[in-house]
Structure 1
Amino acid sequence: MDIPQVEISFRYINLLILLLGLVIIMHLLSKKYARKRTLRFGNFEVLEKVAGKKLFPRDLIPLFLRILAIVLIILVISDLVLVREEYVARTDFILAIDTSASMLTPDYEPNRIEFVKRTAIDFIGKLRNTKVGVVTFSGKAHARLKPTSDMNTVERTLQKIQFEGPAGTAIGDAIVVSESLFDESDRNRSIILITDGRNNIGRNITDALKALNESNTRIYPIGIGSKVEEEVTIPPDLEELNATPAEFPNLDEDMLRLLANKTNGKYFIIDDEDSFKRAFETGLDFKKVSTEPTLHLLLLLCIILLIDWGLEITKFRVLP
């Protein structure tokens, strides 16, 4: 959670210094007066030894409470404001996530699918007042969740995602299925498409783009994995399928750029968690949310004054 910034007017700083000085002076005078009254009944040093070393430190408790009370009063009249920044999405999202065999490649910890899930869950945790849906695709595209503002449901759906068949990467189908999940509303629509491959089964990209019609849905393709074919360790999950590195398709960046350009989106190639988070946050804005804690400060002030009054008539009462 981000730490809120504090905005405060310092026009009463002189008053604060004056009042703090008066409280300290009054405390010292009161202590001197109490010592004189104590001497009427006996030796102060003897009483101090009997009471123990806590006699002097205990005198600081009322002073501390009164200083704190004055600080709170000054904060209340100084229009204290706590300001925090939060993400604002004026868009509803579909997360379309590639779950083909190549997404089990362990070039991210522990593999690409788990890396995507972890970062996506972090992303949705920052969203306010928006809806998120989930689509997965390999050889077929599957609608996992219609857009919802219940981020707990979205998180549970993401956590359940795992490698699935049949073989292939149906990016065109994923776009069409994603578009079909959006509600009829005036809100902007964005598909965040995450893949490490190329469209090699199902609808072609041209037909998929036509299916968007006049919806003005933007596609933000995020490419994950290596740009070129390279030797990788075969994940244990795929050894039983007799998979080989040659079966892992290259990332089709030209196709992903086309999707972004045709829909006024933006294409990203990511190589670490930070770049992935920046890609997710592209469609988001920041807004400042201000909170005036006046009521809380007044409540705290009342509690402190009650404690001070209670101590004054009990523990710190001066005997006549």
Structure 2
Amino acid sequence: MSLGGFTSPWWFLLLLVLAALVVGYLWAQRVRRRDTLRFSNLQVLERVTPKRQGWMRHGPIALLGVALVLLTVGLAGPTSEQKIPRNRATVMLTIDVSLSMMAKDVDPNRLDAAKLAAKEFADKLTPGINLGLVSFAGTATVMVMPTTDRGAVKQAINGLTLSEATATGDGINASMQAIDSFGKMIGGAEGPPPSRIVLMADGGQTIPREPDAPRGAFTKAKEAKNANVPISTISFGTEHGTIDIEGEPQEVEVDDAAMEEIAQLSGGEFHKAASTEQLRSVYNTLGEQIGYEIKRTDASKPWLALGTLAVIVAVGAALVVGQRLP
């Protein structure tokens, strides 16, 4: 553990005192040996002095030194990184429900697979996260405002139905508005909670045609960046998806490049999922990233406990070995 991991590293100055005590102890042992050798009658000395225990007589002092080191480390305030569940955050799950989601390149089809994975994501998300739901096709709809009621979110996921066109920018915009409204309601003195959009889609937008248009996905991704709302995108599907429109098969290839660009412009991450298993894996990863945060917490208790235990053992050993305290 580096010095940067301690809250009060100046306590380590006590180790200088400990070093001085060690030097003093060694010097006292040397003086004692010198004075003993000056005794004129060694036979009498052997009768009047207690039998020496050799190296064991130094054991209590050594244990006491170890105890002082452990206690010094504890007093210096060591810290450690721990994964702590978030108790204050907002996530908008934003799902594409355009007709391309009926493609069966993912079993049983893209939409049903997405529903199942999204519900599992809701179940596994830590309880303190407020989760909302937005669906989008030609327009965007806020199905559920952010809430800790997972049942309401899963019920809304079950009710997702397909519609024509893909207005990805509108989906992002609706999610941002929901986050903003919710943040104003619960912000308080601490301000709005940290927020994120999880955008799952299988293709590029069709309304408007240009992603850089005012309503476009790239424009809204930049606005999300400015609002400090990163977008985690999930490009779901394969390059071989098709749907039937009026009896004619039509290819609905996923647009990974557009989804990756949205994530990059917003300061979020891009994920690719070409199967139900991969989608579940992505959601599990996002659940870990969103639901938990790494914090440095106090780790002094084990050091203090071990130091105290070492003191007790040192005192006990001194009484047994030398019939006196060290």
Structure 1: stretches of 5+ with no match in the other structure: 1-84, 289-320
The residue aligned with 1:279 is 282
Q: CA deviation at 1:119?
A: 0.6
Q: Structure 1 pair 231/126, CA: closer, same or farther in 2 (3 Å)?
A: closer
Q: CA deviation at 1:276?
A: 1.5
C-alpha distance in structure 2 between counterparts of 1:223 and 1:268, whole Å: 6
1:176 aligns with 2:182: no
C-alpha distance in structure 2 between counterparts of 1:144 and 1:98, whole Å: 13
The residue aligned with 2:132 is 133
- Normalising to structure 1: TM-score of the pair? 0.55
The residue aligned with 2:99 is 101
| Cα deviation code 1:214-253 (max 9, x no counterpart) | 3210101101111x3x364x4xxx55x445224x2x3222
**Preserved CA contact (<8 Å) 1:140 1:170:** yes
Q: CA deviation at 1:286?
A: 5.1
| Cα deviation code 1:31-85 (max 9, x no counterpart) | xxxxxxxxxxxxxxxxxxxxxxxxxxxxxxxxxxxxxxxxxxxxxxxxxxxxxx9
- Normalising to structure 2: TM-score of the pair? 0.54
Correspondence 1:47-58 to 2 at 5 A = none
How much is the aligned-residue C-alpha RMSD, in angstroms?
A: 2.5
Correspondence 1:173-252 to 2 at 5 A = 173-182=170-179, 183-184=182-183, 185=187, 186-202=192-208, 203-212=215-224, 214-226=226-238, 228=239, 230=240, 232=242, 234=243, 238=244, 241-246=246-251, 248=252, 250-252=253-255
| Amino acid across the alignment from 1:273 | T
Secondary structure of residue in 1 paired with 2:124: coil
C-alpha distance in structure 2 between counterparts of 1:231 and 1:255, whole Å: 17
Secondary structure of residue in 2 paired with 1:212: helix
**Preserved CA contact (<8 Å) 1:86 1:126:** no
Q: How many aligned positions are there?
A: 193
> Whose helix proportion is higher, 1 or 2?
2
| Amino acid across the alignment from 1:220 | S
C-alpha distance in structure 1 between counterparts of 2:85 and 2:117, whole Å: 16
**Preserved CA contact (<8 Å) 2:129 2:291:** no
C-alpha distance in structure 2 between counterparts of 1:191 and 1:275, whole Å: 19
The residue aligned with 2:53 is none
The residue aligned with 2:121 is 123
C-alpha distance in structure 1 between counterparts of 2:257 and 2:139, whole Å: 22
C-alpha distance in structure 2 between counterparts of 1:285 and 1:211, whole Å: 24
Q: CA deviation at 1:133?
A: 0.8
Q: Structure 1 pair 90/257, CA: closer, same or farther in 2 (3 Å)?
A: farther
Secondary structure of residue in 2 paired with 1:245: strand
Identical amino acids, percent of aligned pairs:
24
| Amino acid across the alignment from 1:120 | A
Secondary structure of residue in 1 paired with 2:160: coil
- Which gives a bigger RCO, structure 1 or 2 (Cα 8 Å, sep 6+)? 2
Structure 2: stretches of 5+ with no match in the other structure: 1-82, 209-214, 295-326
**Preserved CA contact (<8 Å) 1:99 1:113:** yes
